[in-house]
Structure 1
Amino acid sequence: MIHGQTMTLWTKARPVDGILVVGDNIAHNTLRRKVLKAAANELKVGIYTVEDAPDKIQKGIDSKKNFFLISDSPQTFSQLVDNGVDFGKTLNVGPMNTRPGTKVLGRTVAIDQKDYEAFDNIANHGIDVQFQLLPDDEIKHWSTMKAKYDSMD
């Protein structure tokens, strides 16, 4: 989620003051919390459960600061949109590495059926789901990735 070199590139492309991390499995894992905070260097990091996230995200939007909102799962973002959370009109998807039961759709993009359903739900809420590992990489949109997934039987 927060990788030093990747964060350096993204923070140059889109200035940021802090990072909001949402995910129950992250919020309840002390080691992951420590690693994320260490990886963020000087940036402030808030780590929240899905239940606590709507209020924290709204506070971030209302502030004059810029935040990256990140998670390790598209299902988390799908839950947020289902709960009426407005986190913007674009969701950038970074690396999703190969795991059992996934289909490889491109460099660093492997998704399973649950990921597919989550991305579809997010897109159906009017959010442009974009796959882009680094700022200079070509953006691939969900419609393209969905078609590729659907063609792989």
Structure 2
Amino acid sequence: MDIRLARIDDRLIHGQVATVWAKEAGAERIIVVSKEVAGDQIRKTLVKQAAPPGIKANIVDVDKAVRVYNNPKYSNETVFYLFTNPSEVLEMIEKGVPIQSVNIGGMQYQTGRVQVTKSVSVEQKDVDAFRKLSDLGVELDLRVVATDAKSDFESKLKEAGF
């Protein structure tokens, strides 16, 4: 399986993802990796309906994503992984999926989270996962849209008090 892009965006498939990031990735398939979304039939249906024309969309948990990655049947597929949080990215990598870079696009503000940038809010468990990803050599690519300049995510975390 050829991983073209891995992105964290808790809005999942929306306008930017469907029109810009999907083209940027050039992948045949978007795989949303989220235990929460995979267990919610309504949300699953809505996400599949939002996929751009000509691109297959699947919603799975981490274990199924790892099985699919390792299945020779899909070895020639190009894929765009879409996550809602960094913990599931870390879990995929720890289970052997070679994600080299993760684009951090959107993690909405919720009670208990600290706003790091206009589009990214985190809690301590997110910060811990991001730092483990960084320690594993994974590039943390902070960009909301493809044309944004990459910025140093670690410095943003430090500015926010982490």
TM category, shorter: 0.7 to 0.9
| TM-score, structure 2 as length reference | 0.83
Q: Structure 1: how far apart are the matches of 2:17 and 2:63?
A: 28
Residue 76 of structure 2 aligns with an amino acid whose one-letter code is K
Q: Which stretch of structure 1 is more off in the superposition, 42-51 or 107-116?
A: 42-51
**Which protein has the bigger strand share?**
2
Q: Which stretch of structure 1 is more off in the superposition, 130-139 or 1-10?
A: 1-10
Q: Which stretch of structure 1 is more off in the superposition, 130-139 or 140-149?
A: 140-149
Aligned counterpart, 1:105: 116
- Answer yes or no: is the 8 Å Cα contact 1:119–1:142 preserved in 2: no
Structure 1 residue 80 displacement after superposition: 1.6
Classify the secondary structure of the residue corresponding to 1:51. helix
Aligned counterpart, 1:45: 57
Aligned counterpart, 1:147: 158
Structure 1 residue 25 displacement after superposition: 0.9
CA spacing shift, 1:14–1:84, aligned 2, 3 Å: closer
- Answer yes or no: is the 8 Å Cα contact 1:93–1:132 preserved in 2: yes
Q: How large is the Cα RMSD of the aligned pairs?
A: 2.0
The Cα offsets for residues 38-65 of structure 1, whole Å up to 9 and x where unpaired, read as 00032101221122121213349x6333
| TM-score, structure 1 as length reference | 0.87
- Bigger RCO (CA 8 Å, 6+ sep): 2
Counting matched residue pairs gives 150
- Answer yes or no: is the 8 Å Cα contact 2:69–2:75 preserved in 1: no
Where do 5+ consecutive residues of structure 1 fail to align?
Answer: none
Structure 1 residue 96 displacement after superposition: 0.9
**Equivalent in 69, 79, 97 of residue 57 of structure 1:** 69
The Cα offsets for residues 7-65 of structure 1, whole Å up to 9 and x where unpaired, read as 201123231211011111111110111011000032101221122121213349x6333
Aligned counterpart, 1:74: 86
Calculate percent identity across the aligned residue pairs: 24
Q: Structure 2: how far apart are the matches of 1:140 and 1:101?
A: 24
- Answer yes or no: is the 8 Å Cα contact 1:4–1:40 preserved in 2: no
Q: Structure 1: how far apart are the matches of 2:59 and 2:140?
A: 23
Aligned counterpart, 1:9: 20
The Cα offsets for residues 87-128 of structure 1, whole Å up to 9 and x where unpaired, read as x21100111111111111112111111110111111111101
CA spacing shift, 1:59–1:93, aligned 2, 3 Å: farther
